[in-house]
Amino acid sequence: ETRVGRGTFIVDNATRGVGSSFDVIMRQNPDHGYVHLMEMREILEPEIAALAALRASDAQIEAMRAAVEQMEHGLSPAGRVEDFVDGDARFHKLIAESCGNPLILSIISPVLSLIREQQEFHVYRVKGGGRRSQTYHRHVFHAIENRDPENARKSMLTHIRQVREDVQARTQ
């Protein structure tokens, strides 16, 4: 796939293949699937956020800002949880796209698809979970906007750990 001004991305078939493999692994290990998924996120996403802080275009940063605002709206009294979850998925995908590395996108896209169900659980059933996530989303966004890879890395890791801890506390 070629995107004007952004390069060529070989993600379609590769992403489907990776996603299918991940799905099979998750189904074979339902008791440990979530833990494995969060562990993978802790390894990948902080570095992806750090790269995005160095490489994101102004247009990508504005798209991230819109995703953060969509999540904020989703948490408001007039919003819908689906708006938050959609904005969250878009935000994390935009961060990965901002790296400009098609291999990163082919690995993280299926991960983001798998976490969608957990995101809905987190926002619907964990009291204050969405609000806590949004706080960290803003930290990650501001670090990327300010071209601060170390704070982007740190904020993303803290965010992922916060979500994992929230969900584990709720399911124990």
User: Average per-residue pLDDT in the chain?
Assistant: 83
DSSP calls for 43-97: HHHHHHHHHHHHH--HHHHHHHHHHHHHHHHHHSTT--HHHHHHHHHHHHHHHHH
The DSSP call for residue 32 is T
Handedness of CA 18, 52, 129, 42 (dihedral sign): positive
Q: pTM above 0.85?
A: no
Contact 114, 27 (CB under 8 A): no
121 has a pLDDT exceeding 90: no
List the beta bridge partners of residue 7.
3
Q: How far apart are CA 52 and CA 47, in angstroms?
A: 9
107 has a pLDDT exceeding 90: no
